[in-house]
Amino acid sequence: YIVGRLFDDGERCYLEDIDSVFEWEAYVTFLPHRDAGLVEGEFTDKLKKDIFTTDINALEKADIVVALLTGRDVDSGTAAEIGHAYANKKELIGISANNIKELNTFIWGLFDNGKKILSNINELEQYLDAK
């Protein structure tokens, strides 16, 4: 399960690059904007429920949750997914994408006190190769 901000093409592209690394390593991935869809047009209650249901089902099935931890602060949806994953004892991997701002201390703690936060995609590739 690959999670992160979805507000612009650059963020979605970075998530897709993360997805490519996992697929190269033969993982089956879930990428919310690809697999549950982006909101276009009216954001109805039915659409919200459908997206939530698809995402939460995929999150609960996931063995690993990878979070892109960028921006002024971690996106609220990303933070909720990280918290859910942590509470359900999923392996968490964070990617800071060389973010210039320090992460929220609580978020940092969820990633094994920062030990599971990687700087970039190259470090992710090395991490997966070592598994």
> How many percent of the chain have pLDDT more than 90?
73
Residue range 44-55, pLDDT digits in tens: 899 889 999 999
3-state secondary structure 9-30: HHHHHHHHHHHHHHHHCCCCCC
Cβ(78)–Cβ(52) below 8 Å: no
Residue 107 to residue 69: CA distance in whole angstroms: 9
What is the model's pLDDT at position 109? 96
Burial of 94 (0-12, 13-18, 19+ CB in 10 A): buried
Average pLDDT over residues 24-53: 89
Cβ(68)–Cβ(61) below 8 Å: no
- Say yes or no to pLDDT of 40 above 80: no
- Within 8 A by CB and 6+ apart from 29, the residues are 1, 2, 19, 22, 23
What is this structure's pTM?
Answer: 0.91
Tracing tokens 């609960």 back to the chain, one arrives at 60
